[in-house]
Amino acid sequence: MLSHIVFFILGLGILYLGADWLIDGASEVAKKFGIRPLIIGLTIVALGTSIPEFLLNLFAVAAGEDGLAIGNIIGSNIANIALILGISAVLMPLSFGGSVLKKEYPIMLAVTGLFYLLSVDGVISRMDGGILMGGLVAFLIFVIHDASHSPSTSASEPEEDPLFAPHTGLKKWLHDEKMGPFVRILLIVAGMAALAIGARLMVDSSIAIAEYLGISPLVIGLTIVAIGTSLPELAASLMASYKNESDLSVGNILGSNLLNILFVIGLVALIQPMQVEEESLRFHMPAMVAFSLLLWPLARRRGQLSRLGGVILLTGFAAYLLWLTIQAL
């Protein structure tokens, strides 16, 4: 049991490093081609942070553990809203100003509802995966179109944007202009390899832990795995809140939830259809939709998620985890 826990933590650490390397390498390559930082953040970086969930789900489905795969996405989306936004809002009220409540939030809500509707027959088929991937293409077109009509950024933005803030150590070396494209591409490859290794370790150890404790892999996916794969989003959101960049924090979570469904579920279903357990349809997916809907009344007033709103989200998340624990006993 202890060895499985160690391998799970090791896999999580490798997963985090792999995502970090992949994002840094991809961002640097894209910048060299003159792609605007805003578009990089909303596309390359957002997709990069969803690759851990994709690989984890792919290995889980290949191992015949569809419950672990579906549970990971449901649990991750719930944790993103209730845990990460909740903690961030308690530390610093989050702004939902601008177009967030008019554009990004409704899109996230619609995609969450679509995921639920496609699951009601008990399977995410290849056709369902195609629908979700079509939604991903439409979303990326919307992001690029919307970004192209935003005010132009200045040449100094990469240094001012938290995504491109000055770094030390490996990241400082990566940002060195003397480093050629080969080094950055090598970092991307290393990141992908680390992601694959970390995801495989997490899946194997998660299945072993579930078997040892005699609980469903679905519950493991909804809790330990989901929270683990959400740690990069938690770190990014907390840093954004600390730097008073609440828009970055909110956008990070909404974008992550969107891509977890459109990219991860969509692409995995195209490769291998996934069975959806009745327990997910009866409780966990409605809980995911409910937490998504709860954001509207909490953030609509003054366009801000207050500290009280954060406490409400965290209380709801604690109640959800308590219910899962009782069911698992």
pTM over 0.75: yes
Can you tell me the distance from the alpha carbon of 268 to that of 213, in angstroms, rounded to the nearest whole number? 28
2-328 CATH pick, 3.40.50.300, 3.40.50.11610, 3.40.50.720, 1.20.1420.30: 1.20.1420.30
Centroid of chain to Cα 78: 10
Cβ atoms within 10 Å of 278's Cβ, excluding its own: 8
Give the pLDDT score at 212: 78
Cβ atoms within 10 Å of 34's Cβ, excluding its own: 6
In 3D, which of 235, 230, 266, 261 has the Cα closest to residue 248?
235
Cβ atoms within 10 Å of 102's Cβ, excluding its own: 9
Where along the chain do its domains lie?
Answer: 2-328
Give the pLDDT score at 29: 62
Q: Which helix (H) or strand (E) holds 23?
A: helix 2-32
Query: Could you tell me the two tokens for 309?
Result: 């709103």
Give the pLDDT score at 153: 45
Give the pLDDT score at 163: 44
Please report, for the chain, how many H helices and E strands are present, in that order.
Answer: 18, 4
In 3D, which of 51, 43, 42 has the Cα closest to residue 20?
51
Q: β-strands 123-124, 274-275: how paired?
A: antiparallel
| Residues contacting residue 197 through CB under 8 Å, at least 6 positions apart | 11, 14, 18
Centroid of chain to Cα 50: 5
Can you tell me the distance from the alpha carbon of 111 to that of 72, in angstroms, rounded to the nearest whole number? 17
In 3D, which of 264, 273, 287 has the Cα closest to residue 121?
273
Give the pLDDT score at 134: 96
Give the pLDDT score at 40: 57
Give the pLDDT score at 28: 65
Cβ atoms within 10 Å of 104's Cβ, excluding its own: 23
Q: What is the pLDDT along the chain (329 residues), one digit of tens a residue?
A: 678 778 777 777 776 676 666 656 665 666 666 655 445 555 665 666 677 778 778 888 988 888 888 988 999 899 989 998 999 889 888 887 667 788 888 999 999 999 999 999 999 999 999 999 999 999 888 877 876 666 544 444 444 444 444 444 455 555 555 555 666 677 667 766 776 677 677 767 777 877 777 777 788 778 877 877 777 667 666 666 666 666 666 777 888 899 899 999 999 999 999 999 998 999 999 999 999 999 999 988 778 889 999 999 999 999 998 888 887 66
Give the pLDDT score at 142: 85
Q: CA triplet 124, 130, 135: central angle to 5 degrees?
A: 105
Backbone φ and ψ for 95, nearest 5 degrees, come out as -85, 130
